[in-house]
Amino acid sequence: MGCGVDAQDIVLARGPRESWDSKTVEHFVEKYGIRRIKVLDAVNRRFGHTIDHVFRKILIFPNIVDTTQAGRVYVTAMVYGFTIILELVSLRASNIFVAAKYQGARIRDGRLARLNLILVSVSCVALYPLSLMLLRHAFAGKVENFGILIVYVFQPCNFADTMAELIGSFFGRLEFSVRGLGEINKKTVEGCLACFTTCFLVCKMTEVWGDWPRDAFIIEANWLHVATAAVATLAETFSFRSTDNGLMTLAAALVMVALAKH
């Protein structure tokens, strides 16, 4: 965070939120403008999101942990379960380590910002292992490189979700209200289009650059990417805010399972 924000306001935004009310969010909006706050929130949230997700879901889960399908499911559940414990224990704390842990807390989420991040982890611990179990059931023993399917199923959450918020915050003008855990719950049409486009592109890149199992699906790969992008975008747009990470991944998994050869 920075970009012309006063030091005392940075400390306020990084600290616990139980003392915040609607006037605290109004203070930031009136002082810096809603556009700057949206951009700060987006950059701050997505910087940590992208690094964390690329590390866990492209490098760790598919390649380094137990390479059996069951092992990946267990490790995924364990990692996010441990994350929830850390977040709950440090919910009201204020130090440099807690500030780093809650780095993605948005100003516009107000006093609910840290709870918003905990709900993200709760949805992930429930839906990520479920998504991997669905893939395991549909593809176990049928594809050589199961890891590439794990990379693929996480791509909507890894990058499309990020681009939806960045494009929506920097360039979005056509706003609409959504349900969510925060003081301000809005998304943009431009962000939705960015989500669909990015999702298709990263799924295509996974196919081209990875050891893609071309005979594992009943439709051609490009149509699979279109279907994945469409359903994941719907999940990102209409899910309760802070549950979209898990629901986008589950949506991608359901598309892959529905279009798998049996």
Percent of the chain with pLDDT over 70: 91
Higher pLDDT, 51 or 116: 116
Residue 103 has pLDDT above 80, yes or no: yes
**Of 47-56, 235-244, 247-256, where does the model show the most confidence?**
247-256
* Nearest Cα residue to 149 out of 236, 198, 213, 201: 213
Taking the CA atoms of residue 51, residue 56, residue 62 and residue 64 in that order, the dihedral angle to the nearest 10 degrees is: 110
The single-letter DSSP state of residue 174 is -
CB count in 10 Å sphere of residue 114: 24
**pLDDT score at 165:** 92
Q: What confidence category does residue 87 fall into, taking pLDDT thresholds of 50, 70 and 90?
A: confident
**Predicted TM-score (pTM) above 0.75:** yes
Q: What confidence category does residue 191 fall into, taking pLDDT thresholds of 50, 70 and 90?
A: very high
Mean pLDDT to the nearest integer, 90-117: 87
Backbone angles phi, psi at 188, to 5 degrees: -130, 155
Query: Could you tell me the residue ranges of all domains in the chain?
Result: 7-258
Distances (CA, A) of 17 to 20, 93, 100, 112: 5, 10, 15, 7
Backbone angles phi, psi at 175, to 5 degrees: -90, 155
**pLDDT score at 58:** 65
**pLDDT score at 102:** 87
SS3 177: strand
